[in-house]
Amino acid sequence: MDLSLPTFSLLVSLIGLSAVAGIVAVVCPTCFQRLAGIGGSWVDTDRWWAVLDQRVDIDRFVLQRPRLFGSIVIAASAYLGYLLYLKF
């Protein structure tokens, strides 16, 4: 599978953002909880989109164990970055 430069850049950016979120969760769980609260703001949409407008509640697990979650995200980001490094 050949990846174009914009696709590669997008993948690297997403992996980097994921790694930053994982580092924040490990280093400062209270900061992560505040960011999760801001990022999890609910936006009301039309009734036409009601099927897609269902909340998936993983906050109970993630916010109770932010260091575990952050460690998993960092490991996954490092693994995906390594795979991209091997590909290019």
DSSP 53: -
d(CA 34, CA 59): 12
pLDDT for the residue 74:
92
pLDDT for the residue 8:
83
CB-CB neighbours of 6 under 10 Å: 8
Per-residue pLDDT tens digits of the chain, which is 88 residues long: 567 878 888 888 999 999 998 999 999 999 888 888 887 777 666 666 776 767 767 777 778 888 998 899 999 999 988 988 887 7
pLDDT for the residue 38:
82
Q: What one-character-per-residue DSSP string does 19-71 give? A: HHHHHHHHH-HHHHHHHHHHHT------GGGTTT------HHHHHHSHHHHHH
